[in-house]
Chains A and B, each alone.
Chain A
């Protein structure tokens, strides 16, 4: 049924949509086009597969592809193994600490990856809090845990970063498909183990596989964690190699060729994700129950209660220890190498004093990051609202395809996007254009996160609100501003929180695109970590965490007051 007054509404909201489509689609397509061009055109502008034939003959490249896949696979398995018990507890039992698991699992989502890296160094490093603690207990001078700058560290950091995806996706699905079929199985004499493998697992495997595909995709294209924690050519992934070829070796053809290989593999993984996602939606379509269905939730037994407490404690420690370490370390200083740490505000004083080498960049970095986050959000939010209206008026029935289509940019990692813009900036050249390209990159990277929040809210908004306002004499534009926008407010705000947080932490595209003079907080952190100035890095990191907390408080305030 197509309502005619919608034409008028459509006319207005399509302005926003056109803004989104004409601004962002070229900004997404153009860099990919540039990468393709670079990969298939030789310097004399003739079409050639020579880049690929060279790449695919190189055992070095094959080793990189192999390593990238292996680390992604192991990271995925670890993240699932950590997250699955949490999903089980949340979706099947009734207990008070649920919100803790939910809150904890939201943290890595918004935490910039460079902070995670820093936190890992400070907490798990040879001179980190954990090793210091263990050294005191066992009275040794050798750090007992040597996980940093190794394969283990990458897997560990990826697991940290991605287990919340597993919890959110699987628990949400598990809750919805929970019914009494397990109980029925018990009454027919099947034991717990038998029931799990014959009833529960077949029911939830689409959620497990779809979250696995998503986690695999993220780990496959992970950049900052590998760049800093991996260290050395043995632990190089495709993304890191793209960056190295583009910005260190200046071999843009190889970088572009690798980017195409990466996009191809990512697309296949994304396709797998979409297939299982669709299967999940089809399965939950029959369950029209609220997400929190208490009747099927069990009250935990004593043993389960202990497991729940242990799991919550472990999760809280796992997530917060690295962050708290960063904050704590920022208030410490060592008078000389090897002496014990003292409490001090030295690093903060340095940060805020002028002309102190790298640190004087802090103010500029904060200014740039904030400006970048605000401008990219200012582009991405209206575009996302417009695209949501556009998509929903084009597909008014409850088709999930458009939502899924917006996942497609995930197949193109931000490093590759950055490479595309870098190639583009080689043509345009000027610095001011480059800065605009960084804004565009951030807007493109954050757009799916805002869309993911706004689109379902718009789809679920009751049509009668708008109809009532229209029948009372309000024109469509007025209906949009006085009724629809206020009703979408919360979704827009939560989407924006993610967008700004991601922009704050975005390092991949910025690193590949920015010149020496454009510095953001994550880049500053990257440089400080690179020069082993961990105390100063911790101070900057603490400020970044503080900024994120302030940001969330402001958004939370807006959510309530607006």
Chain B
């Protein structure tokens, strides 16, 4: 009874202070994943994503830290007893076995009887849409089919945790999109706790319950895709998920809801929590100036095709916004549903988004709601 309570308390995956130390790289991470959750591990190559997966799977031993899965301590459990499914980037389908034997390998190893194993294999083949592929050789499959079989093979022994290491990176863009949907729906149906490693930010945003952002061996930010995209906590996670404006600023005033920052002689207000309020004449408090960046996403900036913003007319809205006057269009870049616009504002670069094409050299005004303006410390 007590053990069930404990395991229900500690269901899912828990990593506490897991460390792996190399001569030129140190991994140091802690995070928890809930039972049935789909979490993406995101970061540039070499940041420690694959090392993290290797440690969780048991391919690699950590130097320090604690790690448990559904209440059971994972350390000192050899990889073959962890019951963690692993899908590799290169699929790693055994070339010496046909599809059926590949999927059934984990069951055969666990001494599941033949008919049950075959039934499970056929069920999985149905799920991945490759019914009847039992006797085919691995060479006969396309890249996407190989990836599906690799997924089925990992799922066959009912793993408590599924690890996917950049499973789609070898496929073309079109196939990646349809397969990631498929992976997500299979994961939801089977409610298997999943860690998905990718360096593709769009992929991570589109399928994850939560995203864990890793850079240089440590966690930058953990959050829902919406959180991470709109409210990055560090310069790194801000820049990783798409383009944005980063204006160097100093903090001049800071309270629980808002924070006032200054750039040269301009003062701006940023959203430091969910709600915000802005008044132009808020006195600058004598806090120690802290440096950082004023951040906003291009699509949150509103563009006005006039040199001067008619403050009188738009005062109500301007009060809740930061305003950039005399902004000059430098370059536009077409992206399908609109244009990314690189602008020069007093020698600094603003990245905006416009539905219509703007001409080089035209002068515009930009208004960014405070709710979308963030202060990101250095």
Q: Considering the complex, give the chain B residue whose CB is closest to the CB of A487.
A: B96
* Cα-based distance from A489 to B96 in the complex (angstroms): 10
Cβ of B78 and Cβ of A5 under 8 Å apart? yes
Stretch from B102-110, B213-221, B279-287 that touches the partner: B102-110
Nearest chain A CB to B273 CB, angstrom units? 42
Cβ of B92 and Cβ of A468 under 8 Å apart? yes
Which residues in A have their C-beta under 8 angstroms from that of B90? 462, 464
Total cross-chain contacts (CB, 8 A): 79
Return the CB mask of B106-139 against A: 1 if under 8 Å, else 0: 1001100000000000000000000000000000
* Cα-based distance from A483 to B154 in the complex (angstroms): 16
Which residues in B have their C-beta under 8 angstroms from that of A456? none
A289 on the B face (CB < 8 A): no
* Cα-based distance from A278 to B95 in the complex (angstroms): 33
Which residues in B have their C-beta under 8 angstroms from that of A470? 58-59, 79-80
A137 on the B face (CB < 8 A): no
A1 and B60 in contact, given A473-B106, A483-B94 (Cβ under 8 angstroms): yes
A4 and B61 in contact, given A469-B105, A472-B153, A473-B80 (Cβ under 8 angstroms): yes
Stretch from B38-46, B81-89, B319-327 that touches the partner: B81-89
* Cα-based distance from A471 to B153 in the complex (angstroms): 11
A465 on the B face (CB < 8 A): yes
* Cα-based distance from A5 to B88 in the complex (angstroms): 17
B32 on the A face (CB < 8 A): no
Which residues in A have their C-beta under 8 angstroms from that of B85? 471-472
* Cα-based distance from A475 to B106 in the complex (angstroms): 11
A467 on the B face (CB < 8 A): yes
Of A4, A8, A464, the residue contacting B92 (CB under 8 A) is A464
A26 on the B face (CB < 8 A): no
Cβ of A474 and Cβ of B60 under 8 Å apart? no
Between B106, B110, B153, the greatest number of chain A beta carbons within 10 A of the residue's beta carbon is seen for B106
A138 on the B face (CB < 8 A): no
Cβ of A473 and Cβ of B109 under 8 Å apart? yes
A469 and B94 in contact, given A4-B61, A464-B88, A474-B105 (Cβ under 8 angstroms): yes
Which residues in A have their C-beta under 8 angstroms from that of B61? 4
- Those of A291-310 within 8 Å (CB) of chain B: none
Between A464, A478, A489, the greatest number of chain B beta carbons within 10 A of the residue's beta carbon is seen for A464
A472 and B88 in contact, given A5-B58, A465-B94 (Cβ under 8 angstroms): no
* Cα-based distance from A467 to B55 in the complex (angstroms): 12
Nearest chain B CB to A11 CB, angstrom units? 12
Of A1, A3, A472, the residue contacting B109 (CB under 8 A) is A472
A486 on the B face (CB < 8 A): yes
* Cα-based distance from A119 to B59 in the complex (angstroms): 57
Q: Which residues of A contact B (CB under 8 A)?
A: 1, 3-5, 8, 462, 464-465, 467-475, 478, 482-483, 486-487, 489
Q: Which residues of B contact A (CB under 8 A)?
A: 22, 54, 57-61, 78-86, 88-90, 92, 94-96, 105-106, 109-110, 150, 153-154, 156-157
For this complex, 20 residue pairs linking A to B, each with C-beta atoms less than 8 Å apart, are A1-B22, A3-B54, A4-B59, A4-B61, A462-B92, A464-B90, A465-B94, A467-B59, A467-B86, A469-B109, A470-B58, A470-B79, A471-B80, A471-B86, A473-B81, A474-B109, A478-B109, A482-B105, A487-B95, A489-B96
